[in-house]
Structure formats: C-alpha cells, structure tokens
Amino acid sequence: MGYIVGAKEQKAIDDAECVNQVLMGNRSAINYYKQGYHDAIEEAYKWIKANTEGGVHPQNAYGFADRFLKEMEK
C-alpha cells in the first residue's frame, strides 16, 4: 500500500515537472518546490536513521512520532 501511495505522489511530481518545463521553463517556482520537498525527505531520512540505529527500545518508542515531528518543524 505504501508503494502505491509513493508511486502516485511521484507521478504527480513528474507530471507537474513536465507541465512546468513546457509552460514555464526550468527556473520556475515548481522546481524550487520540488527541491524543497526532496530536501525535507532527505532530512527526515537522516533523522530517522540516526534515531533508530540498533532498533528502538519500547521505552524510547513512546513519543517517537512527537520528537520526529518537532525535529521536522525546525
């Protein structure tokens, strides 16, 4: 299910990029949006990897989502 959701999101991004290139050229706002989205995903990946290496102890799992959200809001 997660793969399908991700594929649909990527298709929407790809479609927007095609429209962007045809209508506006390569330096439009949508390209900056896409880069920002990519950067946010990369930062989320780094945080999750750093905070789950070796597994997550059940005591540390409580509040994990809240800590993740707080970190991503920075």
Cα 7 from chain centroid (whole Å): 13
- Cβ distance 72 to 43 under 8 Å? yes
Could you report the per-residue pLDDT of 14-63, keeping only the tens digit for each? Answer: 777 776 666 665 555 666 666 777 788 888 888 888 888 777 777 777 78
Residue 66 pLDDT greater than 80, yes or no:
yes
| CA distance linking residue 10 with residue 68, whole number of Å | 23
pLDDT score of 31 = 61
Cα 64 from chain centroid (whole Å): 18
